[in-house]
Chains A and B, each alone.
Chain A
Amino acid sequence: MPSLGEFEELVLLSVAAQHNTAYGVSIKEFLEEQLEKKINISAVHVSLKRLEKKGFVTSTFGGITKTRGGRRKKIYEITSYGKVQLDEQYRVRTSIYTRIPNISFG
């Protein structure tokens, strides 16, 4: 199974979260909101390309909107393979997390 970088994971999560409506700008805005920092759209695009190449997402062209100067959106959707990857990642993390002993970190 191909590895997943940190930012790629975030983008993949965003795609999954924005079911059927995820495209470049929406993912960028979503992440900026969640992470509370500025993100450059090019980083999002690079991650999307890689995710698509690894088979975690698929894309289709969506409708034209006025704000896009006549260009169609490219809508991304998570594949089941991508979902398995996310589930696996989540499982590993929570499993490790639960092992943290209950000590006060004062």
Chain B
Amino acid sequence: MGTRGSEWILRFFRWFSREEYHEEIEGDLIEIFNVDSQESNIKAGLVLAWTILRYIRPEYLKITDGGFMVNRYSIFVHNLKIVYRGLLKYRSTFSINLIGLSTAFACVFLIYLWADYEYSVDTFHLNDDNIYQVLQNKTRVEGIKTDKSTPALLAEALVTDFPELDYAVTTNRKTTGMLSGSREEVQGTGKFVGADFLEVFSFPLLQGNKSTVFIEKNSIVLTEDLATALFGTTQNVLGMTVKGNRDLFNEEYVVTGVLKTLPTRSTLTFDFLISYEQYLSKYTWFNDWDSDGAITYISIKDGADANALNQKIEPYLEEKGIRESTTLLLQKFSDAYLYNKYEHGRPVPGRLMYVRLFLLVSLFILLVACINFINLSIAQSTHKLKEIGVSKAIGITKRELIHRFLFESALMVFFSAAVATVLVIGLLPQFNIIFGKDLSQIPDPGFILKIIGFLSALSILAGLYPAYYLSSFSPTSILKNTFVNSHSAQWIKKGLVVVQFCISLIFITGFIVVHQQITFLKTSELGYTKDNIVHFNIRGNNDVNGFINAVKEIPGVQNATNVTGGNSIVNISGAGRGFSWQGSTESEDILFARPQVGYNFAETLELELLEGRSFNEEYGNEESKLMVNELAAALIGKEDIIGKTINDGDDRKQIIGVVKNFNLESLHKEIQPTIIRFYPDGTEVMVRISSLDKNTLSHIEELYNSYNIDYPFSYTFISDQYEELYRFEERVSVLSRYFSVIAVIISSLGLFALVAFTIEKRMKEIGIRKILGASNLNITRLLTGSFSSLVVISMLISSPISYSILTNWLSNFAYRITVSWWVFFIGLGMLLFSVWFTVGVQALKAVRLNPVSYLKQE
């Protein structure tokens, strides 16, 4: 008789308890069960189950395979010992692997840290999934233009018309102004924002209530830092007043909140926030559907379908009859940082492309290092043959051998990763400078787990082939010395070397082309002379021309001019339509760049005047005059262009001069047809000085201070501003330089070790050749020859790949170099040189040995 229906309980007992007790206890239990079950089967089962649970105590539990554990441990120690001895014996291979892998890991870690940073930008808002920015797609003759600027009235209309929305807020771009508190007057940059701004974006308030801070139109919210600057404290500043200067409408503002210092991963940056109501009440023209200039963010309700909403919202402006050929587009707020380009009215990866590119590049470096590891393991196999043969002969299975080799690769990988971590910690400050980001913060546990997972996967990946290859040798053939290296392994080795060479070549050519393009950008003819021009702002000064005339008096100043509506010459934004002339048609309503400049513009920037003259004081007010560039002149009609009349909206203006084409923006964009208009009161001043003389600059500063301008004097050089435009490309160039050097070094190191093994194996051959009369040169050529052909094959494979990558990258620039064929040959030359050097050194060493010393061995 058994325990009907309760066998599984006994099975459970047998599972956890020690075998020596099974018979006695089970017997007793069954006996009791049988007595109990005469009363009730279920009760008997329950009693049995309960009783068995009570046996879960230490003296009954299985000792979990004590003997087995000890065995495993000794295998572990044994493996460790063998690996350690192997490392000691082949120190150079070990250090080459260590250098390669740890450098590659350091690259991967750094790039991954950076990528992680880029991916996390703006995602810290609690409501992140629900925050969207509203953009306008305007269909024009040139194509669809996506614009972040929207009508100020849009936010409120959207909230009313779309129940899916929680909030919609309007902000302006940014406003710089002077603020004075109880302690000091401070310059700050802030935003005018809609009432629910802090409901949408989770910038934590130290003081104040996020839903009521902007109820009054003269309320201001300060960041910690600004509050401290203004009042010397952040304590009890609520209710204090802050006076704004003219850029802040000369109003008194009441502090209603203090924000914690903004996270560095925020693209929204500001020192203060003021109610948008204030902005609207001063700039009343924004209260109109015809004006753009506001930025609109919405937050949708939890669970609302953003895609559906996007489709619903798209024709909104057209349906309401507000605008024609203009649609709305929603973009997730935190995506806008990485998808910062727009093509055909849709966001496309802009910055994200670079993030991906660099991740890929760092993985390629890792691949190069892994290939070293794999190749060296295969090459080393001749040394390990005896070991493997003996191991197998004494009964170690293939599986156990595979484990040993995988263990070896895991050890290598994790040790290198540890070295890499130290490297990263050391390099991070330098890296922070290159990327202009502060990445030095302790990564979260998830990040570390990911890295460990990645490393484990990698140790298996890198170790798998060598492990299978090495463990598959037949012990008899090894021990009988009849073993021949398999052909397939040789092919794989060569194939992997080719992959390494290809990666190196792609990096080298990439670096050359990026460098060429950047040099081209920096040195190309802009149409103006960018050196020795100082740029600063004199906002808040009524007598702009008085100031400019005074500046020109300063010794060392050659000329001075002023512009408006933008920054300096490097980045005058804004283009417009509405120019017409005799013979122009409606369809020729062309988009012109239209900077507004003061007297002496062409002279100060040294624009080349092709015809006519520049704006000049001698002619008095020139507001009815225009200058054009060559492109515009060609459109309008070159003949007798001086004196021609152009309708600028309702005004009739006369062309007085034609200048050579010049760049108003970065060379990413093409020069546009440009009409230069006259505006004497622009506050952006550009001064050409004869040399970078401290005295001249301090004289300008003195003059500036004597003009009682609200803002402290701060200037930049046009040439610096120009370099700033290519900061990102500069970073690409620096990184591609580092990466190509690293790739070449790692692969040369691998090659070095590989050649050492090859030559060692061919020593006898070399000896015989020498005895038969081969010259040193002959033999060296023989040894380097096989590698040279690999380099050439690599060039043939890699050139089309790098060509297409590079032309793709160059298409970002309106002005660019072409990828010339010799770039690939330079790459080839550099690689050949490094290969010949690595191989040649060792080949020479080998041939100079006396052949007798290694031929008499048998």
Contacts and interface: CB of A to CB of B under 8 A. Distances in A.
A67 B34 contact: yes
Contact of B25 (A45, A65, A66): A45
Given A69-B2, A69-B3, A25 B28 contact: yes
B29 A41 contact: yes
Contacts of A41: 28-29, 32, 51
A68 B33 CA distance: 9
Interface residues of A, number: 21
Contacts of A66: 1
Given A40-B54, A42-B54, A67 B59 contact: no
Contacts of B24: 23-24, 45, 71-74
Nearest to B33: A69
A90 B821 CA distance: 109
A49 interface: yes
Contacts of B25: 24, 45
Contacts of A67: 1, 30-31, 34
Interface string A34-50: 00000011110110010
A33 B57 CA distance: 27
Given A40-B54, A42-B51, A24 B1 contact: no
A69 B26 contact: yes
Contact of B27 (A28, A42, A71): A71
Contact of A68 (B21, B31, B50, B51): B31
Given A42-B54, A71-B24, A25 B2 contact: no
A68 B30 contact: yes
Nearest to B30: A69
**Chain A residues touching B, majority SS:** helix
A25 B32 contact: yes
Contacts of B28: 23-25, 28, 41, 45, 68
A44 to B, nearest CB: 8
Interface in B199-222: none
Nearest to B56: A42
Contacts of B27: 24, 68-69, 71-74
Nearest to B27: A71
B509 to A, nearest CB: 78
A40 B50 CA distance: 9
Q: Which of B26, B28, B54, B55 has the most CB of A within 10 A?
A: B28
Q: Which of B2, B27, B50 has the most CB of A within 10 A?
A: B27
Interface string B2-40: 110000000000000000010111111111101000000
Nearest to A69: B30
B552 to A, nearest CB: 106
A96 B634 CA distance: 130
Interface string A6-25: 00000000000000000111
B359 to A, nearest CB: 60
A57 to B, nearest CB: 13
Contact of B26 (A40, A46, A71): A71
A49 B59 contact: yes
A66 B55 CA distance: 24
Contacts of B54: 40, 42-43
A74 B27 CA distance: 9
Contact of A72 (B23, B29, B32, B55): B23
Contacts of A74: 23-24, 27
Contacts of A49: 59
Interface in B53-100: 54-55, 57, 59
B794 to A, nearest CB: 74
Contacts of A69: 1-3, 26-27, 30
A28 B25 CA distance: 13
A81 to B, nearest CB: 21
B23 A71 contact: yes
Contacts of B23: 61, 71-72, 74
A53 B24 CA distance: 16
Contacts of A43: 54
A40 B23 CA distance: 18
Contacts of A71: 23-24, 26-27, 30
Contacts of A45: 21, 24-25, 28, 55
Contacts of A73: 24, 27
B44 to A, nearest CB: 13
Interface string B577-614: 00000000000000000000000000000000000000
B768 to A, nearest CB: 77
A24 B28 CA distance: 6
Contacts of B1: 66-67, 69
Nearest to A49: B59
A89 to B, nearest CB: 24
Interface string B556-577: 0000000000000000000000
A42 B21 CA distance: 12
B448 to A, nearest CB: 46
A25 B29 CA distance: 8
A25 B51 contact: no
B30 A42 contact: no
A74 B25 CA distance: 9
A25 B59 contact: no
Q: Which of B21, B23, B55, B57 has the most CB of A within 10 A?
A: B23
A36 B678 CA distance: 116
A23 B28 CA distance: 8
A49 to B, nearest CB: 6
A22 B27 CA distance: 14
Q: Which of A24, A61, A68, A74 has the most CB of B within 10 A?
A: A68
A46 B30 contact: no
A76 to B, nearest CB: 10
A24 B29 CA distance: 9
A87 to B, nearest CB: 28
Contacts of A46: 57, 59
Contacts of B59: 46, 49
A28 to B, nearest CB: 8
Contacts of A25: 28, 31-32
B600 to A, nearest CB: 105
A11 to B, nearest CB: 13
A48 B54 CA distance: 15
Contact of B51 (A23, A40, A65, A72): A40
A24 B55 CA distance: 14
Interface in B726-781: none
Contacts of B21: 45
Contacts of A65: 31
Interface string B443-484: 000000000000000000000000000000000000000000
Nearest to A66: B1
Nearest to B52: A42
A39 to B, nearest CB: 11
A106 to B, nearest CB: 43
B60 to A, nearest CB: 8
Nearest to B24: A74
A28 B29 CA distance: 11
Contacts of B3: 69
3 residue pairs, one from A and one from B, having the closest CB atoms: A71-B27, A24-B28, A74-B24
27 contacts: A23-B28, A24-B24, A24-B28, A28-B28, A40-B50, A41-B32, A41-B51, A42-B54, A43-B54, A45-B21, A45-B24, A45-B28, A66-B1, A67-B1, A68-B28, A68-B31, A69-B1, A69-B26, A69-B30, A71-B27, A71-B30, A72-B23, A72-B24, A72-B27, A73-B27, A74-B24, A74-B27
Given A24-B25, A69-B26, 6 more contacts: A61-B23, A68-B31, A69-B2, A72-B23, A72-B27, A73-B24
Interface of B: 1-3, 21, 23-32, 34, 50-51, 54-55, 57, 59
